[in-house]
Every structure is written in structure tokens, then in C-alpha cells.
Amino acid sequence: MAGPGDQDKLSDEWTLDELSDTASVAGGGQQGAGLLDEDEIDSLLGFDATPGNAEVTGVQALVNSALVSYERLPMLEIVFDRLVRLSTTSLRNFTSDNVEVTLDAISSVRFGDYINSIPLPAILSVIKAEEWENYGLLTVDSGLIYSMIDVLLGGRRVTSAVRIEGRPYTTIELALARRMIEVILEDTHRAFEPLTQVHFKLERMETNPRFAAISRPANAAILIELRIEMEERGGKIEILLPYATIEPIREQLLQMFMGEKFGRDPIWEGHLATEIYAADVEIEAVLHEQQLPLSRMLALKAGDTVMFERSPHDPIRLRCGGVELTEAIMGHIGNHVSVRVTRPLNPPKVTMAEFEALEKAGEGR
């Protein structure tokens, strides 16, 4: 039989064992609840490897929620689809080679994020939209530059990737790249021509992204990625247009198809004006008006005379629907009483701006 000291010792050992078992169970539960597998981490961050899944979730959805979606500008896709067709023909004539231009993507980015993601070396061209009085950016990667130089200078048709040398571009390379960029800018002008008249001018060419800053880093912009292939060689051209640049044609870019009407319809306005001009209206010629006491009006009887105190040369007023139009002089033509207008019509007191304000107020209710 164990004494009091041995009982205390056994009790302490049992307590330590129970605490150890409880801690191991709790630790195993926390460990099982705290560890995430690779699929759960990808789902949390928004990186889904499932092909064809375009839905963005998780942290990536929160990051992208601050960007303005380019889908609000459906006409922009039509413009750059037209640019692809025009550039394919122009670059084939420019290089005398088989050139294929494809539209990779149209997306919204922050200007600072895009500048930091440009792989160097590259040529960054600052372009100015003269009619919009703002700037854009056209980036040509080094692979396309070297491929274009090989084609223009009669290089060998190699199928392997062009080796990127860590050296600055030569004067000849910059001159040939400038000619290619000017061809693409002319095609961009023609692509926008059905929508609006805008000319893109090449301001300068930079190789350092810091010198190509045309907007604040946090400003949103539209990024258009074009891929140019010349028999298994080529590269990418990226056109960046800040939202401030395309703001002058925002209403046109919101159209779902070319020629969609917004606001007033000139055809309906012309039809309405024609019908109004052909309408019949009744005009009143008011010789004179005066106020009489009600007692005198009630006392009138046959044979009483009311004096107007008007002469034949005093002007009378012409009214239509209670609205005073102008003044005239009374006369006669044969057996008919006539009036001769002596001054132009009174200008309307209600303008079109007031009608539009009333219409907007009615829509807001």
C-alpha cells in the first residue's frame, strides 16, 4: 500500500500524462485545421489552374476590383479588330513577307504596374493623340525588333528564337523600328476613322521606362496586346491608352454597334419639325383689352357703348393659344378685315435646355 508521499507522486504523474494527451490532441486538431493544401491556397489567392475558367476569385478578385473593366467600351474591340486587319496588310507591304497580326488581349491595368512589368530591353514610343490632346504608349519588344530587322535587311530565315543581346539599340535599328511604328500609327488612325477623326503622332522613343511616364502610376489604362508573326519569328506590340486619353470619345466607345444613336435622334427631330410646320393653328387679333368693374358689367344693356380709345393706326396684338406673338396694324382687303405684321415674332421664353432639364428631372424620379 502506497503511503501519502507515493500517492502524491502517482497523482502528479497521472496529471502530467493527462495534460500531455490533451495537448497532443489539441495540437493535432489545430495542426489539421491550420494547414492548407495547394489547391486551397490557389483558390484563396485566386489562381485557378483549371483551363477555360475565366472567373476570378479570392485575393486576386479583390485586387482587380479596383480596375475599370474594358467591357464597358464594346466599340473598342471593333476598332482594334479593324486595326488587326489593316496592320496585316500594311506590314506585308512594308516587309514584303508573310506577316500575321493577331489580337492577344484587351485588358485594364494600372499605369505603374504596366511600366514595372515591361521586359527590357524594349522600345517605348510616346505617342500623342492630337485631336484628343493627350498621350499614349506603344511598346515594341526586342524579339519583334530583331525579327523585323532580319526581314528588312535580308537576314537568314532562322526558326530558332533570336538571341537578345545586352547592348543598346543602334541608330539603324532605331530608324527601322521608327518606320514600323509609324506604319502602325497610321493604321491606328484609319481604324478609328469610322468612329472619330484622330491622328497619332510619334513624339519620342525611349528605352528607359522612367522617361516614358505619361500618367500617374495609379491611373487606369487600356492595354491592347498585338502579336506579329513572320514565319515562326516575331514578337509583341502593346498599345497603352490611359482612360483620360480616350475620354473625349467615351460616348462613342459605349455604343454596342457602329452608328448607334444616343440622346437626340436627328431623323425624328426632322420628321417632327416637318409635321409642326404643316400643322394648322388659330391666331387671334386682339384690338384692345381693358378692365371694368363687375358692377358695370352687370349693368350693361342693349345700346350701351364701351369706348376702347383706340385709333385705326394703333397696333393690335396677335396671339396663338394665349401666347402673344407680335404686333400688327389693322386694315382691310376688299370685304375682309386684315392685319399687317409690323415687327418680328417674339422669341420663345422656354428654351431646349429647359426641356432637357425637365426630362432629366423626370428620369431621376
| pLDDT digit string, tens, across residues 195-230 | 888 889 988 888 888 888 888 888 888 888 999 888
Rounded-to-integer distance, Cα 14 and Cα 300, Å: 126
Summary mean pLDDT of the chain: 76
Per-residue confidence at 52, pLDDT binned at 50, 70, 90? Answer: very low
Query: Of 12-26, 168-182, 247-261, 314-328, where does mean pLDDT reach its minimum?
Result: 12-26
Compute CA distances 268 → 91, 143, 261, 272, 289, whole Å: 44, 54, 11, 6, 41
Domain with CATH 3.40.1550.10 in the chain: 70-253
**Strands 284-286, 122-129: pairing kind:** unpaired
* Dihedral pair phi/psi, residue 235, rounded to 5°: 180, -160
CATH of domain 70-253: 3.40.1550.10
Rounded-to-integer distance, Cα 85 and Cα 23, Å: 70
Q: What is the pLDDT of residue 29?
A: 45
State what percent of residues in the chain have pLDDT above 90.
3
Do you find a cis peptide bond into 121, omega within 30 degrees of 0? yes
Rounded-to-integer distance, Cα 226 and Cα 51, Å: 22
| Residue 1 clears pLDDT 60, i.e. is over it | no
What is the domain class of 280-289+308-364 according to CATH?
mainly beta
Domain with CATH 2.30.330 in the chain: 280-289+308-364
**What is the side-by-side strand order in the sheet with 234-242?**
100-110, 220-229, 234-242, 134-141, 122-129, 200-206
For range 265-274, the mean pLDDT: 81
